[in-house]
Structure 1
């Protein structure tokens, strides 16, 4: 009797088991010899990829003060060793309004020239130090026609789009 056919098309469970075994998941020598860590909830199954950084209330006070003096979310995240979204969350909890990309109005003509030369809003934002949405709002308020879809839109000359 030919048993080969019975095992040619294994069920999904058997495929998973075979794949895990071939990757060495079930080898005893690869498991840690250290005792397992447990707490009041039970045994810890895995460790986190990145340790969580908790800020003390004094640090959050300092974070809010630095933001008030003009520091950006990215700068504060770097200083305090947390994610940018964590900084934003702390500011929101303290009811601080988060500004969405500061745009210096004195650089409007520079931004318009860069945008009309073919750069995208993101690229212009990087060059003038503001967010792409802030650049979009500033350019639109000064009469620059925003291209649909970034670079794919039509090219517009500076003389027709920007008024003195």
Structure 2
């Protein structure tokens, strides 16, 4: 054990990592939160706002939710699933259907699979 400890002194200095500088969370002032909310309502993305204000995307979401703004796109409503399935059978892509209903392609896919729809392979065409 002592022999092992003696070899530590032989290690080059650069082999020992330097301690990381600690970062503290940046607190936004109330007028900055107002600017953040206004930017989101004007169409800026959460990622852009996080970079602009020097905070994480999660913190942007927390500020928006605190102001009553939901950042997740609305899901596909149960009464919309049959129409989405009809469009998918007609050859529409999941992305195109999602754009029509204002949601994501992952949401459309999940609802169609739950309804028993067989998914096409990627780039498979409907003839």
Offset of 1:72 from its aligned partner?
1.2
**41, 65, 76: which is aligned to 2:38?**
65
Distance change in 2, residues 1:146/1:57 (3 Å): farther
Distance 1:51 1:78 in 2: 16
Residue 142 of structure 1 deviates from its aligned partner by: 7.3
Shift of 1:18: 4.9
The SS at the match of 2:126 is: helix
Superposed CA offset, 1:72-123 (max 9, x none)? 1011112222221221121122232112499xxxxx88971xx7xxxxxxxx
Q: How many residues align?
A: 102
Change in CA separation of 1:155 and 1:60 when aligned onto 2, cut-off 3 Å: closer
TM-score of the superposed pair, with normalisation by structure 2 = 0.51
Contact 1:140/1:146, CA 8 A, preserved across alignment: no
Q: What runs of 5+ residues in structure 1 fail to find an aligned partner? A: 1-9, 26-44, 103-107, 116-123, 148-153
**CA distance in 2: counterparts of 1:46 and 1:159, whole angstroms:** 55
- Secondary structure of the 1:137 match is helix
Match among 9, 16, 21 for residue 47 of structure 1: 21
RMSD across aligned C-alpha pairs, in angstroms?
4.4
Whether the aligned pair in 2 keeps the contact of 1:136 and 1:146 (CA below 8 Å) is no
> Which residue in the other structure is 2:82 paired with?
none
Aligned counterpart for 1:134 among listed residues 99, 104, 107: 104
Q: Which has the larger radius of gyration?
A: 1
Gaps of 5+ in 2: 76-86
> For 1:54 and 1:23, how far apart are their aligned partners in 2?
40
Quote the Cα distance in structure 2 between the aligned partners of 1:90 and 1:71. 15
